[in-house]
Structure 1
Amino acid sequence: MKRFRIAALVTVLALAGMPFLAIAEGEIEAGRIKAYTCLGCHGVDGYRNAYPSFRVPLLGGQHAAYIADALRAYQSGDRQHPTMRALAATLSEQDIQDIAAYFESAGANR
């Protein structure tokens, strides 16, 4: 009987987590479309920002979780960059997941 309760509990927890898992993973094709603006800076090899001057990183192949966390940090103001904060402020959580999935899937080509 104890095994049945444990199995039932594991099943309930797994099913409860499924909606979260669906949201947590972005759609690559949707991300490709949404990342169009991002590629203007993050898709140009050797691109440097005008002010403050720094090399803009290419994002292709970066882990999706890192990109998503960075975008959320720009939204909250934990990361300081006026342009990135303004752009990130317009993104929904699904947008963030989609963009992150696209860049992770793009490899070093983007």
Structure 2
Amino acid sequence: MSRGPDAATQLERALVATAAAAGCPVAIATADWTRWASATFTGARHALTLTASPGPMLDHWLVGLSEVEFALRGYLVADIHVTRMRREGELVTVTIEALTVEER
């Protein structure tokens, strides 16, 4: 029996979907995650690199990213933020870090 997609897969899909809904399609260039735990929570730290076309809709989506309510089955996005953004002509490369925790 399959448990369904893990937190990393769900987060990637949610980022692509919310960006598309905001009018700024993105592509996942790279994605990696490591397990994470505290005394009371377990989850994962994620590092993702996205690519997109430049524009005001992308800028608006990135500024509001930390306020987005991501619907991940079995997980919560506890923290998400842009750590780097590089513009090269008609391509923007964005590095995002996130923390997901398992719902109990």
With normalisation by structure 2, the TM-score equals 0.28
Structure of greater Rg: 1
By relative contact order (CA 8 Å, sep 6+), the higher-ranking structure is 1
With normalisation by structure 1, the TM-score equals 0.27
Larger proportion of strand: 2
